[in-house]
Amino acid sequence: MKRKIFKIFFIFQYEKEEKWLNEMSAKGFQLTDVGFCTYTFTEGTPGEYIYRLELLDNAPSSAMGFAYISFLEDTGAEFVGSMNKWIYVRREAKKGPFNLHSDLVSKLKYVAKIRNLMLCLFLCFIPIILLYFNNIKALMDGASIASFALLVLVEVLFGVGALFTQFKVSALRKELLYRE
């Protein structure tokens, strides 16, 4: 029995997304495929798998990406699917706890990567917004205003994401002041 669910998680909501996937697993729905904002679940034993997701530095199909995924598989994890550079993996719960990062340094490196992505998107969109505004100044019709509002909304989301992940980076840095 398969079930497809459409759900939106923004880039910086990866922890929320992961939590949701594990909640679904606890209910007996194991994720077996991913698409753009679509998740395919197969009915199975509740809590059978532990799910983790990660943003890779390279595409999963690249040599480096493939090497990392193979490495994960060697440690007992299964590759579930990918969306751009995001990979979804799982491991049988009976094999024990499953995490991708176990120390602060590697956790910090990862969160900083997400923060940099958000910041980069935020900064890149500034000229796009200014350009767009410049072009529609004359028109100012319903469609232009609506699409401009959408553009601004996306930009705000990028900004929120950058701030949100920056808070996490600061918290981790603070932890690192006294422990590993």
User: Which residues of the shown chain bind other proteins in the complex (CB under 8 A)?
Assistant: 54, 68, 70-77, 97, 99-103, 105-106, 109-110, 180
Q: Which is nearer to other proteins, 17 or 29 (CB)?
A: 17
C-alpha dist (Å) from residue 147 to 25, 36, 75, 156: 38, 21, 47, 14
Q: Which is nearer to other proteins, 35 or 76 (CB)?
A: 76
Give SS3 for 155: helix
| Tokens at 151, concatenated | 């553009």
**Closest separation in Å from C-beta 33 to other proteins:** 22
Q: Which is nearer to other proteins, 141 or 180 (CB)?
A: 180
Helical residues (DSSP H) of 10-103, grouped into ranges:
14-26, 63-74
DSSP state of 93: G
**Closest separation in Å from C-beta 47 to other proteins:** 20
Q: Which is nearer to other proteins, 56 or 121 (CB)?
A: 56
**Closest separation in Å from C-beta 180 to other proteins:** 6
**Closest separation in Å from C-beta 73 to other proteins:** 7
Q: Which is nearer to other proteins, 24 or 72 (CB)?
A: 72
**Closest separation in Å from C-beta 14 to other proteins:** 13
Q: How far apart are the first and last CA of the chain?
A: 45
Q: Are 42 and 60 in contact (CB under 8 A)?
A: no
Place of tokens 């808070």: 167
Burial class for 114, CB neighbours closer than 10 Å (0-12, 13-18, 19+) = buried
